[in-house]
Amino acid sequence: MQFNVAQLLKEPIGAMRRYELVEDIGELDPELAALGPLVGEVELIRIHSGILARANLSTAMQVMCNRCLEPIALPVRFTIEESFRPLTEVNTGRYIAPTEFEGEEEDLEDEALIIDEHHVLDLSEVVRQSIWVTLPMYPSCNWTGTGECPNLTRYLRELKATQEQAGEEIAMDEDEAVDPRWAALLELRKQQGNQGD
Ligand SMILES: [Zn+2]
Protein backbone atom coordinates (compact mmCIF):
# COMPACT_ATOMS: atom_id res chain seq x y z
CA MET A 1 0.00 0.00 0.00
CA GLN A 2 2.95 2.27 -0.60
CA PHE A 3 2.96 4.78 -3.43
CA ASN A 4 5.91 6.83 -4.58
CA VAL A 5 4.47 10.29 -5.13
CA ALA A 6 7.70 12.15 -6.01
CA GLN A 7 6.54 12.80 -9.57
CA LEU A 8 3.00 13.70 -8.54
CA LEU A 9 4.32 16.23 -6.01
CA LYS A 10 6.12 18.03 -8.85
CA GLU A 11 2.93 18.33 -10.85
CA PRO A 12 0.37 21.15 -10.62
CA ILE A 13 -2.57 21.10 -8.21
CA GLY A 14 -5.29 18.82 -9.51
CA ALA A 15 -2.92 16.29 -11.11
CA MET A 16 -4.08 12.75 -10.41
CA ARG A 17 -2.98 9.11 -10.40
CA ARG A 18 -5.34 6.18 -10.26
CA TYR A 19 -4.42 2.69 -9.03
CA GLU A 20 -6.19 -0.64 -8.86
CA LEU A 21 -5.29 -2.14 -5.51
CA VAL A 22 -5.01 -5.87 -4.80
CA GLU A 23 -3.08 -6.02 -1.56
CA ASP A 24 -2.32 -8.82 0.86
CA ILE A 25 -3.24 -7.48 4.30
CA GLY A 26 -2.42 -10.62 6.29
CA GLU A 27 0.33 -8.75 8.14
CA LEU A 28 -1.52 -5.48 8.61
CA ASP A 29 -2.63 -6.07 12.19
CA PRO A 30 -2.05 -9.17 14.35
CA GLU A 31 -5.58 -8.86 15.71
CA LEU A 32 -7.23 -8.72 12.31
CA ALA A 33 -7.81 -12.00 10.48
CA ALA A 34 -8.16 -11.13 6.81
CA LEU A 35 -9.82 -13.77 4.65
CA GLY A 36 -8.72 -12.21 1.39
CA PRO A 37 -6.79 -9.35 -0.15
CA LEU A 38 -7.80 -5.73 0.07
CA VAL A 39 -9.15 -4.71 -3.32
CA GLY A 40 -10.42 -1.49 -4.81
CA GLU A 41 -9.47 1.77 -6.41
CA VAL A 42 -7.11 4.41 -5.08
CA GLU A 43 -6.90 7.97 -6.36
CA LEU A 44 -4.03 10.25 -5.44
CA ILE A 45 -4.59 13.92 -6.17
CA ARG A 46 -2.09 16.74 -5.88
CA ILE A 47 -3.47 19.43 -3.57
CA HIS A 48 -1.82 22.59 -2.23
CA SER A 49 -0.74 21.00 1.06
CA GLY A 50 0.38 17.64 -0.39
CA ILE A 51 -1.60 14.69 -1.70
CA LEU A 52 -5.25 13.86 -1.22
CA ALA A 53 -5.79 10.10 -1.12
CA ARG A 54 -9.24 8.81 -1.97
CA ALA A 55 -10.02 5.11 -1.98
CA ASN A 56 -12.97 2.78 -2.22
CA LEU A 57 -11.87 -0.53 -0.75
CA SER A 58 -13.24 -3.86 0.32
CA THR A 59 -12.10 -7.12 1.85
CA ALA A 60 -13.41 -9.86 4.14
CA MET A 61 -12.53 -10.47 7.77
CA GLN A 62 -12.95 -13.42 10.05
CA VAL A 63 -14.63 -12.32 13.26
CA MET A 64 -16.43 -14.15 16.04
CA CYS A 65 -20.18 -14.07 16.41
CA ASN A 66 -20.89 -12.08 19.54
CA ARG A 67 -23.58 -14.53 20.65
CA CYS A 68 -22.44 -18.04 19.74
CA LEU A 69 -18.67 -17.38 19.40
CA GLU A 70 -18.58 -19.21 16.06
CA PRO A 71 -16.16 -17.75 13.51
CA ILE A 72 -17.92 -15.91 10.72
CA ALA A 73 -16.80 -14.24 7.52
CA LEU A 74 -17.68 -10.58 7.41
CA PRO A 75 -17.51 -8.47 4.24
CA VAL A 76 -15.84 -5.13 4.98
CA ARG A 77 -16.24 -2.05 2.79
CA PHE A 78 -14.99 1.43 3.42
CA THR A 79 -13.90 4.64 1.77
CA ILE A 80 -10.89 6.75 2.59
CA GLU A 81 -10.43 10.44 2.06
CA GLU A 82 -7.32 11.80 3.75
CA SER A 83 -4.79 14.48 2.91
CA PHE A 84 -1.13 13.51 3.31
CA ARG A 85 1.61 16.05 3.80
CA PRO A 86 5.18 15.76 2.58
CA LEU A 87 7.96 15.71 5.15
CA THR A 88 10.43 17.18 2.68
CA GLU A 89 10.30 19.41 -0.36
CA VAL A 90 10.39 17.19 -3.42
CA ASN A 91 12.82 19.30 -5.48
CA THR A 92 15.37 20.21 -2.81
CA GLY A 93 14.96 17.51 -0.15
CA ARG A 94 14.67 20.25 2.45
CA TYR A 95 12.57 19.34 5.49
CA ILE A 96 9.37 21.35 5.61
CA ALA A 97 8.78 22.99 8.97
CA PRO A 98 5.38 22.31 10.54
CA THR A 99 4.79 26.07 10.60
CA GLU A 100 4.91 26.07 6.80
CA PHE A 101 2.13 23.50 6.55
CA GLU A 102 -0.92 24.92 4.80
CA GLY A 103 -3.47 22.18 5.55
CA GLU A 104 -5.67 21.40 8.53
CA GLU A 105 -3.98 21.37 11.91
CA GLU A 106 -5.29 17.88 12.76
CA ASP A 107 -3.61 16.47 9.62
CA LEU A 108 -0.34 17.98 10.73
CA GLU A 109 -0.31 15.99 13.97
CA ASP A 110 -1.26 12.62 12.47
CA GLU A 111 1.88 10.58 11.74
CA ALA A 112 -0.13 8.19 9.56
CA LEU A 113 -0.58 11.05 7.09
CA ILE A 114 3.08 11.91 6.49
CA ILE A 115 4.75 11.35 3.13
CA ASP A 116 8.27 10.30 4.12
CA GLU A 117 11.59 11.75 2.94
CA HIS A 118 11.67 9.21 0.09
CA HIS A 119 8.33 10.64 -1.10
CA VAL A 120 6.51 7.43 -0.23
CA LEU A 121 2.88 7.74 0.75
CA ASP A 122 1.85 4.75 2.87
CA LEU A 123 -1.87 4.03 3.16
CA SER A 124 -1.49 1.08 5.56
CA GLU A 125 -2.17 2.83 8.85
CA VAL A 126 -5.20 4.68 7.50
CA VAL A 127 -6.51 1.38 6.07
CA ARG A 128 -5.90 -0.43 9.37
CA GLN A 129 -7.80 2.22 11.32
CA SER A 130 -10.60 2.25 8.76
CA ILE A 131 -11.08 -1.52 9.04
CA TRP A 132 -11.37 -1.30 12.83
CA VAL A 133 -13.88 1.53 12.54
CA THR A 134 -15.89 -0.41 9.95
CA LEU A 135 -16.10 -3.66 11.92
CA PRO A 136 -19.34 -3.92 13.90
CA MET A 137 -18.98 -3.77 17.67
CA TYR A 138 -21.18 -6.86 18.06
CA PRO A 139 -20.74 -9.05 14.99
CA SER A 140 -23.46 -11.63 14.58
CA CYS A 141 -23.68 -14.76 12.45
CA ASN A 142 -27.29 -13.85 11.80
CA TRP A 143 -26.51 -11.68 8.84
CA THR A 144 -29.96 -10.23 8.38
CA GLY A 145 -29.70 -8.75 11.87
CA THR A 146 -33.14 -9.83 13.07
CA GLY A 147 -34.10 -12.75 15.28
CA GLU A 148 -31.75 -14.92 17.27
CA CYS A 149 -28.32 -16.08 16.25
CA PRO A 150 -29.07 -19.48 14.61
CA ASN A 151 -26.03 -21.17 16.16
CA LEU A 152 -26.98 -20.02 19.65
CA THR A 153 -30.59 -21.09 19.17
CA ARG A 154 -29.44 -24.54 18.04
CA TYR A 155 -27.02 -24.81 20.94
CA LEU A 156 -29.64 -23.90 23.54
CA ARG A 157 -32.01 -26.46 22.05
CA GLU A 158 -29.33 -29.16 22.22
CA LEU A 159 -28.42 -28.15 25.74
CA LYS A 160 -32.03 -28.37 26.85
CA ALA A 161 -32.37 -31.84 25.32
CA THR A 162 -29.21 -33.00 27.05
CA GLN A 163 -30.38 -31.64 30.38
CA GLU A 164 -33.72 -33.35 30.05
CA GLN A 165 -31.98 -36.63 29.30
CA ALA A 166 -29.57 -36.29 32.20
CA GLY A 167 -32.25 -35.15 34.64
CA GLU A 168 -31.97 -31.99 36.73
CA GLU A 169 -28.36 -32.49 37.85
CA ILE A 170 -25.46 -32.13 35.48
CA ALA A 171 -22.55 -34.23 36.64
CA MET A 172 -19.22 -32.48 37.16
CA ASP A 173 -17.35 -34.63 34.69
CA GLU A 174 -19.93 -33.81 32.07
CA ASP A 175 -19.26 -30.13 32.68
CA GLU A 176 -15.64 -30.66 31.80
CA ALA A 177 -16.52 -32.32 28.53
CA VAL A 178 -18.40 -29.20 27.44
CA ASP A 179 -16.71 -26.79 25.08
CA PRO A 180 -14.99 -24.26 27.40
CA ARG A 181 -16.56 -21.44 25.44
CA TRP A 182 -19.94 -22.55 26.76
CA ALA A 183 -18.87 -23.09 30.36
CA ALA A 184 -20.07 -19.67 31.56
CA LEU A 185 -23.43 -20.12 29.90
CA LEU A 186 -23.85 -23.57 31.35
CA GLU A 187 -22.98 -22.30 34.81
CA LEU A 188 -25.59 -19.58 34.46
CA ARG A 189 -28.27 -22.09 33.54
CA LYS A 190 -27.36 -24.25 36.49
CA GLN A 191 -27.67 -21.26 38.80
CA GLN A 192 -31.04 -20.39 37.36
CA GLY A 193 -32.07 -23.99 37.82
CA ASN A 194 -31.01 -23.93 41.48
CA GLN A 195 -32.95 -20.73 42.12
CA GLY A 196 -36.05 -22.47 40.85
CA ASP A 197 -35.65 -25.31 43.40
ZN1 LIG B 1 -23.83 -16.77 16.23
**Ligand 1 centroid – CA 155 distance (Å):** 10
Q: How many domains does the chain have?
A: 2
Which pLDDT does position 185 carry in this prediction?
67
Distance CA 126, CA 136 (A): 18
Is residue 102 in a domain? yes
- Confidence class of residue 196 from pLDDT cuts 50, 70 and 90? very low
Is residue 46 in a domain? yes
pLDDT tens-place string over residues 48-79? 999 999 999 999 999 988 877 888 888 999 99
**Ligand 1 centroid – CA 138 distance (Å):** 10
Across the chain, mean pLDDT equals 84
**Ligand 1 centroid – CA 73 distance (Å):** 11
Is residue 33 in a domain? yes
Is residue 78 in a domain? yes
Which pLDDT does position 100 carry in this prediction?
78
Question: What residue numbers bound the domain in which 180 lies?
Answer: 150-196
Same domain, 90 and 57: yes
**Ligand 1 centroid – CA 139 distance (Å):** 8
pLDDT tens-place string over residues 103-141? 777 777 788 999 999 999 999 999 999 999 999 888 887
Same domain, 126 and 155: no
Same domain, 95 and 9: yes
State how far the alpha carbon of 154 is from the alpha carbons of 64, 115, 127, 160, 182, in Å: 17, 52, 37, 10, 13
Q: In this prediction, what percent of the chain has a pLDDT beyond 90?
A: 50
Which pLDDT does position 5 carry in this prediction?
97
**Ligand 1 centroid – CA 195 distance (Å):** 28
Distance CA 48, CA 171 (A): 72
**Ligand 1 centroid – CA 68 distance (Å):** 4
Is residue 145 in a domain? no
Is residue 144 in a domain? no
**Ligand 1 centroid – CA 88 distance (Å):** 50
Is residue 141 in a domain? no
Domain boundary among 99, 134, 169: 134
Is residue 142 in a domain? no
| Whether residue 7 has pLDDT greater than 90 | yes
Residues whose CB falls within 8 Å of the CB of residue 197, separated by 6 or more in sequence, listed in order? none
